[in-house]
Structure 1
């Protein structure tokens, strides 16, 4: 029985999506309680930015090592360990007594989370054919957006009712249980089946040395294109909503926590639509570059509009802006469609890690720099500090647009990859 023709592959797919959905919710849920943490632990806006940054720093820094190890030793073990570390880190976060424990907990969450997406891409590559892979990648992106959605109104309402610790404790338990589920589905159960090797031994080539592989990949235009694409769309969105979006809505517009999280939820609806719709448009046009460049242009203009309107656009326009920025985040699934169609299957892990690192390097830098801008102006409760802070995502989004423009279309290679 071949993996790519078995019914069991759908069990694998659903299990991975459930885990991914829950883990993604914990990427941005701490942003709901930024002001509470500042009050409870007597910490500054810069420290809040550091909390978010250290999580994404671990995530970004481990992307390439995780990609290399997963390509070489297989993705199953790393996905299970990643889920367990994320769950344990969330549990520690819920029990924290000072800012040092908070920092350690977010570092642990970032370390575990770093193993999730790269290995998700690899596992889908192994269990599904190329034509299925592109569509399922859009669904996976949509599942991640639902995870972000959980961290808005539902999680905010839960925090308002019971305080912030019980929701994070419960979420940690659920993620740990998902790690146990993945062990059974990916490691233990498949041992009872007999799988046919889909790659004949004669076609297998000796592995390239790691340094040579990295040197070759880092010198390719396509790899850097994916890096900057993710840097511009994912990092700006995740970095902002994971740290300053809720305080921005509360301080600048006078919204309640629940209302501010509803504003973010609009962006998440955009992200939910963005992944499958943009993948469908790309398939219809037989092009990844054209729709992706348009998406990057829209994201850049959205961030720039904050500057043009002194950090406080009208509420209706703000809603539209968040929707479009969210759409761009969802459309970023095209980054990995580029990776899958441009590189050999043995290199998908490390290139996916490199591309993903771009997005979360941006997410590392944005919250911390944004927090320093707010502290500099002593204006975290007014639009002045935010107005200057929005210069950062504008610059980052412009780099994403550059990435989209330097993508090299390889349509003929798609047919070859489907045959292989």
Structure 2
């Protein structure tokens, strides 16, 4: 089958992106019910932070191994099984009876979620030519932001209508159906094996890892992604809604509307920042600008002692979301700097940086809330100290992007 001229590729494109939409929504959806979980399961903020972090911890730990496996055996199997595991994990989460069940559910969800980005990138590279791929990868980045947007007001409304258990159960069932549909379009319709083993001779895994881990460019990408991704996803997915409810006295729906403003910023930022970078014919300079902007925005929360005026709060969330949209530039640098034959593992390594910070932030933030609460059960004054976390993370990101070495004039990479 001539994949890059087949009409089926658009069916695959839509089905893969729809699955990504649902999976990315389940990264941050639990943040809508943080306070409810604390009441229902009689647990502390630190415990909820750990429950939130465990998914990102698993996701982070699997990025490099899955990058290696996807390069060698193709993306079909990992994407299909990943969607199913995310669905099953979400269903178990909706049926949880104690915090241990929640931990197990989020571990399953994390395993499934870990498959999506690297394998989606590889699937698009197989089914679309280079020109189409460059354009469509921007839409893929937008889809992740749309997933986060789905986990604001729309999912809040679903929680109101069905209770939080019914809402997560519905999402889990839909993800399982997506897994079945992916099997049909990626395997049955194409008459291909679930595993697409690459016959190219591979460098030994240990040697490849050693070379990547000794690369200054790879570490610069790791840290710039660490700073721009984790502060945003980790905060939005855990403490953003409780913060606005505790400090501003908002309802859950009002708080999720402000989160939606932030996600709209990310949705606009992803393609626009990519266009700016392309127009200026540089990746590093705009990336530095947006890293600095995000750092300054997080610092404003400290300047106003955790309580900026509402109008400024809305602006800050929008700008932070817009800056988060620049994270796709990380993978533009990967494509520019490394051979295509290594794109899976380097993409996984850079992505590890982003989600390592998403692992750390909810737990650190929750610990600071517990430690600096003004009185037992009242955590609002701890948010000031909590905001130190994304500020410090953003500093690491700025250092990383400064150390990126950009190739302004480059030729086609060796793809042997």
How does the TM-score come out when normalised to structure 2? 0.95
- Residues of 2 paired with 1:419 and 1:349: CA distance? 13
- Residue matched to 1:196: none
Unpaired segments of 5 or more residues in structure 1?
Answer: 194-198
Cα deviation code 1:230-276 (max 9, x no counterpart) = 11111111100111000000000110000000110010001101111
- Residues of 2 paired with 1:40 and 1:392: CA distance? 28
Are 2:400 and 1:403 aligned? yes
- Residues of 1 paired with 2:314 and 2:182: CA distance? 38
**SS of 1:416 mapped into structure 2:** coil
Conservation of the 8 A alpha-carbon contact between 1:29 and 1:152: yes
Question: 1:188 offset after TM fit, Å?
Answer: 1.9
Matches within 5 A, 1:35-54: 35-54=35-54
- Residue matched to 1:12: 12
Unpaired segments of 5 or more residues in structure 2?
Answer: none
1:393 equivalent among 375, 387, 390: 390
2:340 equivalent among 341, 345, 348: 345
- Residues of 2 paired with 1:400 and 1:131: CA distance? 30
Query: Please, which moves more after superposition, 22-31 or 399-408?
Result: 399-408
- Residues of 2 paired with 1:123 and 1:12: CA distance? 9
- Residue matched to 2:217: 222
Question: 1:378 offset after TM fit, Å?
Answer: 2.1
Matches within 5 A, 1:323-402: 323-379=318-374, 381=378, 383-402=380-399
- Residue matched to 2:123: 123
2:207 equivalent among 212, 227, 230: 212
Query: Please, which moves more after superposition, 150-159 or 169-178?
Result: 150-159
Question: 1:133 offset after TM fit, Å?
Answer: 2.0
Cα deviation code 1:114-153 (max 9, x no counterpart) = 0111111111222223332222111111111111111101
Conservation of the 8 A alpha-carbon contact between 1:85 and 1:108: yes
Are 2:302 and 1:291 aligned? no
- Residue matched to 1:161: 161
- Residue matched to 1:248: 243
Conservation of the 8 A alpha-carbon contact between 1:94 and 1:166: yes
**SS of 1:312 mapped into structure 2:** coil
- Residues of 1 paired with 2:284 and 2:357: CA distance? 21
1:416 equivalent among 403, 412, 415: 412
Conservation of the 8 A alpha-carbon contact between 1:246 and 1:261: yes
Question: 1:410 offset after TM fit, Å?
Answer: 1.7
- Residues of 1 paired with 2:225 and 2:129: CA distance? 24
- Residues of 1 paired with 2:107 and 2:371: CA distance? 26
**C-alpha RMSD of matched pairs (Å):** 1.9
- Residue matched to 1:56: 56
Are 2:66 and 1:71 aligned? no
**SS of 1:332 mapped into structure 2:** helix
- Residues of 2 paired with 1:205 and 1:412: CA distance? 28
- Residues of 2 paired with 1:25 and 1:254: CA distance? 25
- Residue matched to 1:88: 88
Conservation of the 8 A alpha-carbon contact between 2:340 and 2:414: no
**SS of 2:110 mapped into structure 1:** helix
**SS of 1:191 mapped into structure 2:** coil
